[in-house]
């Protein structure tokens, strides 16, 4: 039995996933603490306790400029976050934009 040939699109997708996985590993090594804790927060301490529930350790890489808006799988577009903060950013985009964790609406892919 022969292996099924992958389409060029499937090959590109696999390569992109592998590339982002490598960036994610590098970020976890370079930046073990969640980036949300390392920025000047726009909230007071009570707000942070209420919504962040940060685990303090980087577990995921986040695209500051989302892939859907042309953001590349590149280190300069990646932010290391814990899972809870990553979920918060995608659930509260306006607050995340204010903190610099998510590119503002209308932003396109800048040159690094």
Burial class (CB in 10 A: 0-12, 13-18, 19+), 8: exposed
Written as six digits, the tokens of 26 are: 């590098």
d(CA 63, CA 76): 9
SS3 state of residue 34: coil
Per-residue pLDDT for the chain (112 aa), expressed as one digit of tens each? 556 888 999 999 899 899 999 999 999 999 888 887 666 554 555 555 556 677 778 999 999 999 888 889 899 999 999 898 899 889 988 888 888 889 987 655 554 4
- pTM for the predicted model, two decimal places: 0.74
């Amino acid at each position: 039995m022969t292996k099924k040939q992958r389409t060029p699109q499937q090959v590109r997708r696999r390569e992109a996933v592998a590339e982002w996985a490598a960036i994610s590993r590098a970020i976890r090594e370079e930046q073990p603490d969640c980036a949300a804790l390392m920025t000047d927060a726009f909230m007071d301490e009570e707000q942070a306790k209420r919504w962040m529930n940060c685990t303090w350790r980087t577990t995921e890489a986040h695209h500051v400029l989302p892939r859907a808006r042309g953001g590349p799988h590149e280190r300069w577009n990646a932010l290391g976050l814990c899972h809870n903060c990553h979920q918060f950013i995608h659930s509260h985009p306006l607050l995340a934009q204010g903190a610099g964790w998510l590119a503002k609406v209308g932003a396109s892919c800048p040159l690094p």
